[in-house]
């Protein structure tokens, strides 16, 4: 997992100075620009079971991402360091330091965000995909990030035209990674979304 994406920086993610703006702009220009398709038929189950072990390393995707993005983790005994019990997240979206503790009432403080939300992807190309490709997309580490739970809920299924991380120093990295995901899976963007992405890249 780490080899695919690398560890998050200690400041909660990639900084603006690490973003290759020229590369991001080049990929953005190649994305198709279309209107949003109807949400009709969208169902989370069409992207496979939540947090499947798609890379067959014995750990589900949620725990893989927690293990990648948290520091000072502890693990449940007997799980081969799979199930994360506690850890510390430097939230990339808001900048807060969050102490994660696994539990019915506490796990939701840290959530795993799909940078490109599943329903947004559904309306911009994923309806035509195979079940296998949708499952791959839903569990792709490139499209996943451990973040502050309430901010993830606030974002919901918004695209870049309607929601950006409140931590301005992370917006370049956020947009660059969204563009990477859209380019990898050949998802389209709306005009408003592309304009928003262009605006953020201008400030990087």
Q: Are 147 and 92 in contact (CB under 8 A)?
A: yes
Beta strands in 76-154 (DSSP E): 84-90, 97-101, 110-114, 144-148
Mean pLDDT for each consecutive 10-residue tract of the chain (204 residues)? 39 63 98 96 95 91 97 96 97 98 96 98 98 97 98 98 98 98 98 98 96
pLDDT of the residue at 18: 82
Residue 66: strand, helix, or coil: helix
Q: How far apart are CA 11 and CA 111, in angstroms?
A: 18
- The pLDDT of residue 176: 98
């Amino acid at each position: 997992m780490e080899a695919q994406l690398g560890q998050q920086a200690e400041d909660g993610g990639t900084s603006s100075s690490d973003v290759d703006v020229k590369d991001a702009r080049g990929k953005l220009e190649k994305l198709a620009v279309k209107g949003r398709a109807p949400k009709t038929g969208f169902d989370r189950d069409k992207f496979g079971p939540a947090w499947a072990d798609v890379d067959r390393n014995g750990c589900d995707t949620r725990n893989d991402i927690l293990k990648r993005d948290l520091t000072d983790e502890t693990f449940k005994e007997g799980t081969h360091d799979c199930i994360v019990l506690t850890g510390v997240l430097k939230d990339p979206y808001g900048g807060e330091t969050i102490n994660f503790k696994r539990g019915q009432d506490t796990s939701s403080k840290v959530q795993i965000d799909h940078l490109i939300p599943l329903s947004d992807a559904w309306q911009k190309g994923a309806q035509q995909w195979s079940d296998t490709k949708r499952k791959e997309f839903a569990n792709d580490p490139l499209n996943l990030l451990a973040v502050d739970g309430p901010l993830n809920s606030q974002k919901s299924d918004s695209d870049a035209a309607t929601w950006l991380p409140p931590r301005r120093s992370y917006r370049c990295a956020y947009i660059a990674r969204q563009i990477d995901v859209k380019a990898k899976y050949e998802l389209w963007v709306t005009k408003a979304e592309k304009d928003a992405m262009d605006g953020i890249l201008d400030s990087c």
